[in-house]
Amino acid sequence: MSVEPIVKLLDAVTRLLNVLIWPAVLLFIVIRFGRDFRELLASLGELSLKGAG
């Protein structure tokens, strides 16, 4: 048995995981911190600044 097919398989698996991991991390962050992020955006809408004059 040659090492080349094993290396190709490992390369394919790591590329697949590379493609799938970022959306999974992003989904986790949205689910975990979604409510806090919405509250932050809502509080920023209430922010007012005084202009000069």
> Within a domain: residue 48?
no
> Within a domain: residue 51?
no
> Within a domain: residue 50?
no
pTM tops 0.85 = no
Q: Which residue has the higher pLDDT, 19 or 41?
A: 19
> Within a domain: residue 53?
no
By residue range, what is the domain housing residue 39?
Answer: 1-43
Q: Is 47 left (phi over 0), alpha (psi -120 to 50) or beta?
A: beta
> Within a domain: residue 49?
no
> Within a domain: residue 28?
yes
pLDDT at 25 over 90: yes
pLDDT at 6 over 90: yes
> Within a domain: residue 38?
yes
Confidence of residue 5 (pLDDT cuts 50, 70, 90): very high
Which helix H or strand E contains 38, and what residues bound it?
helix 4-45
DSSP code at position 42: H
Count of domains in the chain?
1
Burial of 24 (0-12, 13-18, 19+ CB in 10 A): exposed
